[in-house]
Amino acid sequence: TGSFLDQQASRFGLTIEEFTRLALKSKSPSTIAGRCSVFAKTDMVHLQQEAASDEDIILGLCYAMARSFKSGIVKGKKFVPPIVFCGGVSFNQAMIKAFEGVLPYFEKAVKLLGNETDS
């Protein structure tokens, strides 16, 4: 997930930090296929050709990745807090926003390792 985000940031000519900041400006995330990275890239190119904003495309990609996680990993299972969200992607605020949008209980159930404010 992290390396795919890095690759897409590079494709836009952005650092991952710039990529994330841009995504957070989105008002209407684009719909992007999340099942397969090839389909996601194809959707992104098509959206760019259709003049969709970079912000909406990038946040749309984050939502696609979160939906892919939900359908591939969660599969209707009930999570019991706390759930740990760790790794480099857990620091990406656009991915956190996407997970919160796709998994309504995400914010309450998840502990972000390295991001926690309560000791």
54: CATH: 3.30.420.40
Tell me if 24 is assigned to some domain: yes
- Report if residue 118 sits inside a domain: no
In a domain, 89, yes or no: yes
Alpha-carbon distance of 53 to 23, in angstroms, equals: 10
Would you state the pLDDT for residue 118? 43
Residue 12 banded pLDDT, cuts 50, 70, 90: very high
Q: Is residue 119 part of a domain?
A: no
Q: Is residue 30 part of a domain?
A: yes
Q: Which domain holds residue 100?
A: 2-112
Please state the domain count of the chain.
1
The encoded tokens of residue 70 equal 């939900």
- 44-58 pLDDT per residue, tens: 989 988 989 999 999
Identify the CA nearest to 110 among candidates 87, 89, 79: 79
The verdict on residue 102 lying in a domain is yes
CA distance 112 to 47: 32
- Residue 13 in any domain: the answer is yes
Rounded Cα–Cα distance for residues 85 and 64 (Å): 18
Using CA atoms, how far apart are residues 42 and 24, in angstroms rounded to an integer? 22
**pTM for this model (two decimals):** 0.85
pLDDT tens per residue across span 17-44? 999 999 999 999 999 987 788 888 889 9
Residue 119 is predicted with a pLDDT of: 38
**Per-residue model confidence (pLDDT) at position 92:** 92
Question: What is Dmax (Cα atoms) for the chain?
Answer: 47
